Structure formats: structure tokens, C-alpha cells
């Protein structure tokens, strides 16, 4: 039997009842997400009983679960029953094959067998072996993940037709984001507007899945009302860690639905894409950590310089005070000499010259200290020759007072 949301948020969403327990609720991980504030996160579940029979059980929800208007704890479902959860109405329908929904597990061990198979009569325009070779050439850890996805998408497009695509990720807070393309224009998650029911199911089950609308019985189906989509394909990209992102492909009206052969073909490329993506993400993390380490080293160097400047301040003030006293004294003597005998300039010129020499010494001290305090961030490739003698002499000039006191 089929379960279809016929009224309220998510109208048109549909789920096939099978051998697995189906969870209903507001939680994004539910098999059928009820986007209603009156629904609990884990509102109810449908459990298979005897063959062709399913039991609906309330999960201790806050507002309760109703079947045909009656509040229930558990109830055997029959075709035509209407389940009410908040403002959502879900109708139980007998099986009618208007929509095909199937999934396939990605088995990396089967790739060797697939490499020997040529795609004939399936609508796939490129052999798997050729496509895998092209994806292998893209395996460069320095390629940003988004660029890698776009390049692999072009390989997939050369073998399997689709109109829109997206790469959907989840962060640590389960917040979704996406990069992709719709109508040949870049698209974020809102513009892409994928079938999140299919995407979440593929992510949760870790299986490639296809949902196709091939009839007219379900005019409000999510696959029809979303940009006139005819068929959607969702493929989880599984790495060595627990993080799972999903590759989403979509076809519009005028195209045939995705086939199981095409899902197999894309899934085989997806195994390699997932490994390449993980390597690219690891390289990005290492690069960012290296940049942070360089920045920390620069900050530590600046702090050490400030400490050293503080220690040198007392000695530097003493060294600067002596020549400044000489400058003032010589200029005062020159002033007195000019007052006594304005015509005698030889002695005055000598005192003025001594004052200038002392002022030059002060300027050199200030220049050396400023050079020591100046921030010069290190950049790879910025190395150049320098005069070691000048550096040593400048450092000795700055430290002379402290060395003398020691």
C-alpha cells in the first residue's frame, strides 16, 4: 500500500509501505517528514504485521494520532483510511504502479565486473571504464571540493542526461547547504528545491535511490509540482568517516525517468567521487591548519618583540638622553657665542656641527628601534639576501646600554 499526504504541509508526498518500519514525525530523519508544528518529532510509526498488513502505533505524541477521526494508540490500517496528524491528512491507498521507486546499495567490490561491461541500449552514452578513467584524472587533492564536484558532474553529464544537479551537505548542527545548477544557472539549496524526502531517505539508508512519476494519477506529487520534475536520483557519497553528503540529479518533463542501469553507472562513479572529495576536504583542513599555525607563529614573534622592546626601553632612554643633552648644550653655547661676537663663526660652527652629530646619533637609535619593532610577516618565496654585519651592528647599538650595565 501507499501512504500519501493529501492535505496540509507537504501535500503530495508519498511513501510505499514495505517490510521496514516507517517513522512519521517532524524530525528530518523520519521516513515521512510531517512539517507541522502540532506534530511531535517522533509522532508515530507504521509496523509491518502479516503479509499485506500494517499497524499504525502512536509514539506518545503530544497531540495524538487519529484514524478516520478517532484518537488511537494503535490501529490496523486498511485501504482508504485517513490518518490525521496536526493539520496533515495522510490517506492509505491500495498499490497502483503509477510511480516507481527503487533503491540500490553501492557495492565497490562489483566495480571490476562493471568495468568489463559496455553500456548498450540503456541510454548511457559513455562506457563506465572511460568515465572512471576521466574521474581518476581529476584526483588532485589541491582541487577545492566544489570545483571537483563540478568537474565530475561534467563527466556524469557526458554519460547520463539530467537537467538539474546539486551536492547537498549537512553541518554539525544538521543545517543543510547545497551547490548546484538549475536552468543552467548556479543554484543554492532554495533555488535547487530538491525532493528532500528522497534526499533524506537516501542519506539515512545510505543507498542510491530513484523516484519517478510516470502517470497522471498523482497530480500533486512532489516529483511533479517541483519545477515539473519527472524523475529524481539521489546518491549518498560515503567516505571513511561518518559524514554523508548526497549527490542529487533531476530530469524534467520531456525526458524519460532514470533507470536502474543509470543509477548503477552513476553509483560506480560516486564511489570514486566520495574518496576524492574526502581527500580534497582533508587537504583543505590541513591547509587551513597550516595557515593558522603560521599566523600563531607571527603573533608569538610580535609578542616576543614587544617584550624585548619593553626590556630595552630603560637602556634606550639613557642612551637617547645623553646625546640630546649634548645637542641642547652645544646649541646653547653657540647661542651665547653669537650674542658675544656675531662676526666670529668658526667656534659657533664647530659647536653646531657637534650638535648635528649628536642629533644624527639619536636619529640612528630611533631608526634601529623602529626597524626592530617593525612587523614583517613571513611569506614563502619572499626570501632575499641581506647584510648580516648591518643587522648585528644595529642590534648592538640598541642593546649597548644593557650590555654596558651588565
> Span 291-298, mean pLDDT?
86
- H-helix or E-strand spanning residue 137: helix 128-137
Looking at per-residue pLDDT, the higher value among 164 and 228 belongs to 164
Candidate from 15-19, 297-301, 312-316 with smallest mean pLDDT = 312-316
CATH number, residue 17: 2.60.200.20
Q: Give the total number of structural domains in the chain.
A: 2
| pLDDT band at residue 229 using 50, 70 and 90 as cut-offs | low
CATH number, residue 114: 3.30.450.40
> Residue 118's pLDDT is what?
44
Q: Is residue 87 part of a domain?
A: yes
Q: Does residue 223 surpass a pLDDT of 50? A: no
Per-residue pLDDT tens for 97-116?
444 444 455 454 454 444 44
Q: Are 50 and 115 members of one domain? A: no
Residues 303 and 376: beta-carbon distance below 8 Å: no
**SS3 call for 142:** coil
Last residue of a domain, one of 256, 285, 314: 285
Q: Is residue 341 part of a domain?
A: no
Q: Is residue 391 part of a domain?
A: no
Q: Are 115 and 172 members of one domain? A: yes
Cell numbers given for 25: 514525525
Per-residue pLDDT tens for 310-342?
666 656 666 676 777 777 777 777 777 777 776
> Span 115-144, mean pLDDT?
72
Residues whose CB is less than 8 angstroms from the CB of residue 399 and which lie 6 or more positions away in sequence, other chains included: 312, 315
Q: What is the DSSP string of 12-76?
A: T-EEE--SS-EEEESSTTSSEE---TTS-TT-EEEEE-STT-EEEEE-S-SS-EEETTEEESEEE
- Domain holding 264, by residue range, is 101-285
Candidate from 118-127, 130-139, 338-347, 397-406 with smallest mean pLDDT = 397-406
**SS3 call for 312:** helix
Q: Are 58 and 115 members of one domain? A: no
Last residue of a domain, one of 264, 285, 306: 285
> Residue 313's pLDDT is what?
65
Q: How far is CA 212 from CA 15, 21, 209, 254, 274, in A?
A: 12, 22, 10, 13, 25
> Residue 361's pLDDT is what?
78
Per-residue pLDDT tens for 27-62?
888 888 888 888 998 999 999 887 778 899 998 888
Q: Are 33 and 153 members of one domain? A: no
| φ/ψ (deg, to 5) at 40 | -80, 165
Q: Are 258 and 170 members of one domain? A: yes
Residues 83 and 92: beta-carbon distance below 8 Å: yes
> Span 162-169, mean pLDDT?
92
Candidate from 82-91, 170-179, 235-244 with smallest mean pLDDT = 235-244
Q: Are 62 and 177 members of one domain? A: no
> Residue 29's pLDDT is what?
86
Looking at per-residue pLDDT, the higher value among 272 and 254 belongs to 272
Q: Are 78 and 183 members of one domain? A: no
Buried residues in 262-279 as b, exposed as e (16+ CB within 10 A): bbbbbbbbbbbbbbbbbb
Mean pLDDT over each residue of the chain, to the nearest integer: 77
Q: Are 274 and 139 members of one domain? A: yes
In terms of pTM, does the model score above 0.85?
Answer: no
User: CA triplet 83, 88, 90: central angle to 5 degrees?
Assistant: 35
pLDDT over 70, % of the chain: 75
Q: Is residue 359 part of a domain?
A: no
Q: Is residue 377 part of a domain?
A: no
Last residue of a domain, one of 36, 59, 93: 93
Q: Is residue 387 part of a domain?
A: no
Q: Are 130 and 269 members of one domain? A: yes
Q: Is residue 274 part of a domain?
A: yes
> Residue 96's pLDDT is what?
42
Q: Is residue 170 part of a domain?
A: yes
Q: Are 166 and 71 members of one domain? A: no
| pLDDT band at residue 212 using 50, 70 and 90 as cut-offs | low
Q: Are 157 and 247 members of one domain? A: yes
| pLDDT band at residue 392 using 50, 70 and 90 as cut-offs | confident
Q: Are 41 and 149 members of one domain? A: no
> Residue 379's pLDDT is what?
57
Amino acid at each position: 500500500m501507499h501512504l500519501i499526504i493529501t492535505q496540509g504541509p507537504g501535500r503530495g508526498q508519498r511513501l510505499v509501505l514495505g517490510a521496514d518500519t516507517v517513522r512519521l514525525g517532524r524530525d528530518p530523519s523520519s521516513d515521512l517528514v510531517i512539517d507541522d508544528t502540532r506534530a511531535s518529532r517522533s509522532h508515530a510509526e507504521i509496523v509491518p504485521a502479516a503479509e499485506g498488513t500494517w499497524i499504525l502505533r502512536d509514539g506518545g505524541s503530544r497531540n495524538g494520532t487519529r484514524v478516520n477521526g478517532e484518537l488511537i494508540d494503535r490501529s490496523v490500517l486498511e485501504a482508504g483510511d485517513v490518518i490525521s496528524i496536526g493539520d496533515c491528512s495522510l490517506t492509505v491507498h491500495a498499490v497502483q504502479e503509477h510511480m516507481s521507486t527503487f533503491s540500490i546499495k553501492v557495492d565497490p567490490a562489483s566495480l571490476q565486473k562493471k568495468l568489463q561491461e559496455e553500456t548498450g541500449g540503456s541510454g548511457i552514452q559513455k562506457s563506465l571504464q572511460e568515465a572512471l578513467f576521466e574521474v581518476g584524472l581529476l584526483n588532485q587533492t589541491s582541487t577545492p571540493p566544489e570545483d571537483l564536484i563540478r568537474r565530475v558532474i561534467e563527466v556524469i553529464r557526458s554519460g547520463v542526461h539530467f537537467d538539474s544537479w546539486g551536492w547537498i551537505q549537512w553541518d554539525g548542527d544538521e543545517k543543510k547547504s547545497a551547490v548546484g545548477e538549475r536552468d543552467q544557472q548556479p543554484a543554492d539549496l532554495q533555488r535547487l528545491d530538491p525532493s528532500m524526502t528522497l534526499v533524506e531517505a537516501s542519506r539515512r539508508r545510505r543507498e542510491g535511490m530513484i523516484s519517478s512519476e510516470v502517470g497522471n494519477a498523482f497530480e500533486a506529487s512532489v516529483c511533479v509540482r517541483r519545477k515539473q520534475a519527472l524523475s529524481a536520483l539521489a546518491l549518498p557519497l560515503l567516505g571513511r568517516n561518518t559524514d554523508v553528503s548526497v549527490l542529487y540529479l533531476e530530469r524534467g518533463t520531456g525526458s524519460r525517468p532514470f533507470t536502474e542501469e543509470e543509477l548503477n553507472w552513476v553509483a560506480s562513479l560516486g564511489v570514486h567521487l566520495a574518496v576524492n572529495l574526502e581527500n580534497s576536504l582533508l587537504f583543505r583542513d590541513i591547509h587551513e591548519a597550516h595557515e593558522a599555525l603560521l599566523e600563531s607563529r607571527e603573533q608569538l614573534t610580535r609578542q616576543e618583540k614587544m617584550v624585548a622592546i619593553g626590556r630595552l626601553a630603560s637602556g634606550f632612554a639613557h642612551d637617547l638622553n645623553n646625546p640630546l643633552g649634548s645637542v641642547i648644550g652645544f646649541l646653547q653655547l653657540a647661542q651665547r657665542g653669537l650674542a658675544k661676537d656675531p662676526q666670529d663663526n668658526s667656534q659657533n660652527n664647530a659647536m653646531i656641527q657637534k650638535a648635528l652629530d649628536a642629533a644624527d646619533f639619536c636619529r640612528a637609535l630611533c631608526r634601529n628601534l623602529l626597524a626592530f619593532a617593525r612587523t614583517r610577516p613571513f611569506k614563502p618565496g619572499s626570501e632575499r639576501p641581506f647584510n648580516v654585519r648591518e643587522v648585528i651592528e644595529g642590534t648592538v647599538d640598541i642593546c649597548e646600554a644593557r650590555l654596558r650595565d651588565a
